[in-house]
Amino acid sequence: MTTRLPPAQTTAETPPRPLVGVSSCLLGAPVRYNGGHSRSRFLTDELDRHVGWLPVCPEAEIGLGVPRPTLRLQRRDGEDRVVSSKSGADVSEELARTADRHLAQLRRLDGYVLKNKSPSCGLYALPVFDEDGGRVDGKGRGAFARRLTELLPSLPVEEQGRLSDPVLRELFAQRVFAHARLRTLWESPWRTRDLVELHARHKLQLMSHSPEGYRETGRIVARAGTAEREETVAAYTEAFHRTMAVVPSRGRHVNALQHAFGMLSPLLDDSRRHDLLEAIQDYRREQVPLSVPVALLRHHCAGEDVAWVRDQTYLRPYPDDLRLRHAIAV
């Protein structure tokens, strides 16, 4: 397991660069069972510029070799086990222990991308077989993936295949960069006012995912001055990441856009106000992508120097050149 760290720079203008775990084959490492790889161009050509990587291949780490016999999920005594299709050897515990062995490094992560359809790394809908080779169901999860999500339940985790969906890809990027911002706060000698500031900057972003989640996190912030420090960290972390995991709907995006418009509207003339409202309505009517009203809001906030709206993470949740909101169509 070799960590490819991002450059160490974090300023008010430059957000923290996330560290993301990844199945090694997705970065082009020839570690698959057949000696090949499953390179993801989104990861290597786009996200790579903005994150550091922690590549992991659990099967190679436990010494299965390359190439190697394929693995499969087999249900034994009501439990899904990872077994060799050739010898029947059970390697479930060894794969799971890979996550435990590197737990200190995994706790530094801001996200994880797993290889889909893998009996070790697959996250969703893997086929499970009985001991005679018959298919039982398609509800399996890889042994390493299962242990990873048990150890780090708040970590944004996604699998390669689902990242081809533009909505899920954008959601994952949002969660990863938000995770990095919150982690950076917790790693600093933070004060209550620092948490208040971070929460305020994330207001529209949290609202676009879940208004109730925004209110819940707000209640935790309101108690932060009197609550135990560890209690605040645990409660806010869980509620923040649970809220960010909710897929935003078009209606909630419109609500967030209108909140931003309300702060900016008094400073605009009728023509600019009409253009901005029309862009929001065009997005509501599915005539333009989300990037159009967001770009107009950013433009007018910069021109009028409306700091509260300009500094909202909702308007720039990740680096611009990822261009993920151009395809948002929900």
> Is residue 13 one of the residues assigned to a domain?
no
Do 310 and 302 touch, CB atoms closer than 8 A?
A: yes
Return the pLDDT at 330.
Answer: 46
Both 147 and 215 in a single domain?
no
Question: End of a domain among 139, 164, 189?
Answer: 164
Both 181 and 98 in a single domain?
no
Return the pLDDT at 133.
Answer: 84
Residue 19 CB contacts under 8 Å (≥ 6 apart), including other chains: 3, 5, 6, 51, 52, 53, 54, 108, 109, 110, 180
Both 205 and 307 in a single domain?
yes
Both 178 and 159 in a single domain?
no
> Is residue 4 one of the residues assigned to a domain?
no
Return the pLDDT at 328.
Answer: 61
Both 49 and 129 in a single domain?
yes
Q: What percent of the chain has pLDDT over 70?
A: 95
Return the pLDDT at 230.
Answer: 97
Both 120 and 154 in a single domain?
yes
Both 158 and 212 in a single domain?
no
Return the pLDDT at 16.
Answer: 81
> Is residue 7 one of the residues assigned to a domain?
no
Per the structure, how many domains does the chain have?
Answer: 2
Instruction: Report residue 257 as tokens.
Output: 């856009």
Domain carrying residue 274? 174-330
Question: End of a domain among 109, 135, 164?
Answer: 164
> Is residue 12 one of the residues assigned to a domain?
no
Both 158 and 220 in a single domain?
no
Both 50 and 73 in a single domain?
yes
Return the pLDDT at 303.
Answer: 87
Return the pLDDT at 3.
Answer: 58
CA distances from 175 to 111, 154, 269 (A): 8, 10, 36
> Is residue 60 one of the residues assigned to a domain?
yes
> Is residue 266 one of the residues assigned to a domain?
yes
What is the C-alpha to C-alpha distance for residues 155 and 245, in angstroms, rounded to an integer? 10
> Is residue 2 one of the residues assigned to a domain?
no
Both 56 and 135 in a single domain?
yes
308: helix, coil or strand? helix
Return the pLDDT at 272.
Answer: 93
Return the pLDDT at 245.
Answer: 97
Return the pLDDT at 14.
Answer: 57
> Is residue 11 one of the residues assigned to a domain?
no
Question: End of a domain among 144, 164, 184?
Answer: 164
Both 160 and 184 in a single domain?
no
Both 145 and 293 in a single domain?
no
Please list the pLDDT of the chain residue by residue as tens digits (330 residues).
Answer: 555 555 444 444 456 899 999 999 999 999 999 999 999 999 999 999 999 999 999 999 999 999 999 999 999 888 899 999 888 899 999 999 999 999 999 999 999 999 999 999 999 999 999 888 888 898 899 999 999 999 999 999 999 999 999 999 999 999 999 999 999 999 999 999 999 999 999 999 999 999 999 999 999 999 999 999 999 999 999 999 999 999 999 999 999 999 999 999 999 999 999 999 999 999 999 999 999 999 999 999 988 888 889 999 999 999 999 999 987 654
Q: Can you list the pairs that 196-203 forms with residues at least 24 positions away whose Cβ atoms lie under 8 Å?
A: 196/221, 196/224, 200/308, 201/311, 201/312, 201/313, 202/178, 202/240, 202/312, 202/313, 202/314, 203/259, 203/312, 203/314
